[in-house]
Amino acid sequence: MGYTIAVAGKGGTGKTTIAALIVRLLKEKKVGSILAVDADPNNNLAETLGLEVKETIGSILDEVSLHPEKIPSGMSKDRFIEYQVQTSITEGDGFDVLAMGRPEGPGCYCYVNNLLRNITGKLIKDYDYIVIDNEAGFEHLSRRTTRACDALVVVSDATPVGLKAAGRISDLVKELNIKSKKNLLLINYSGEIIEKERLKKLGLDYIGNIPKDPRISEISLNGSSLMALKDDAVSLSSLRALGDYIWREN
């Protein structure tokens, strides 16, 4: 069974960046096979990892509804879609990527979510590590794209508003009975260590900070991938030091 890490948080907190850095560090540790799941319909995790994704679950669904004749006789539509999705997984250097995307057709959003959940559930057996970059906010949790994970990493800035949002995510995870073995809080863009007092009610284990990294800003400005980040970049070294909290079993 693969070890699943789900990254969640408010929009713009740095989820995709952190998910990509986690993938990069897992690759560096040579932990085995890694699947990066882009569960944000505005997918950009693959890009952040330096990969171009040609097909997404959304685009496959559109294609099948436009061309139902492509479903081989004797194969159910669901089975066909599942097969197509599995073959759409993009192979990168040391990791694979599965992207959810956004279907054009109306009313199939829940269907995409269900598919993503079922397929990820099956793929868990084929990979040693699965890193899920979730959609911003709370909706995806309600739709239960993530049903269970080994580590939930909630990313937040250090502001009171940001921390309140992180706390709401933590509450929702409990309310929805999402099975998560560890609920972690990671502060991004800031080196400011937050006092325990401010975190009391969050229900998350605060593991540390990723400071604002000028090299990330540079990379995102010139459109290259986080794979080009130097090994000693401050963001990468900070996350490397916190890694055991995230990817260790206990």
Interacting residues with Mg ion (CB under 5 A):
15-16
Minimum distance between the CB of residue 40 and Mg ion, rounded to whole angstroms? 5
Question: Per CB under 6 A, which region of 11-19, 26-34, 137-145, 160-168 contacts ligand ADP?
Answer: 11-19
Neighbours of 102 (CB within 10 A): 18
Alpha carbons 97 and 129: distance in angstroms, whole number: 12
How far apart are CB 37 and ligand ADP at their closest, in Å? Answer: 14
Among positions 117, 144, 212, 240, the unique one binding ligand ADP when judged by CB under 6 A: 212
**Under the criterion CB under 6 A, does residue 11 sit at the interface with ligand ADP?**
yes
CA–chain centroid gap for 40, Å, is 8
In the complex with Mg ion, the residue whose CB is nearer, 137 or 203, is 137
194 binds, among Mg ion, ligand ADP, none (CB under 5 to 8 A by kind): none
Q: State whether the Cα torsion 186-25-178-250 is positive or negative.
A: negative
Q: If binding is defined by CB under 6 A, does position 210 make contact with ligand ADP?
A: yes
Rule CB under 6 A: say whether 15 interacts with ligand ADP.
yes
Q: Write out the two tokens for 94.
A: 């040391």
Can you name the residues that pair with 20 across neighbouring β-strands? none
Q: Which residues contact 56 (CB under 8 A, 6 or more apart)?
A: 38, 43, 88, 99, 100, 101, 102
Query: Which residue is nearest to Mg ion, using beta carbons?
Result: 16
Decide: is 189 part of the binding site for ligand ADP (CB under 6 A): yes
CB of 30 to Mg ion, least distance (A): 26
CB of 31 to ligand ADP, least distance (A): 22
Q: How far is the CB of 243 from ligand ADP (least distance, A)?
A: 16
Pick the binder of ligand ADP from 4, 5, 6, 16 (CB under 6 A): 16
In angstroms, the Cα distances linking 175 to 9, 31, 96, 134, 178 are 17, 33, 32, 18, 8
3-state secondary structure of 154: strand
Q: Tell the burial category of 250 from Cβ atoms under 10 Å away from its Cβ (0-12, 13-18, 19+).
A: exposed
Contact positions vs ligand ADP (CB under 6 A): 9, 11-17, 136, 188-189, 210, 212-213, 216-217, 220, 235
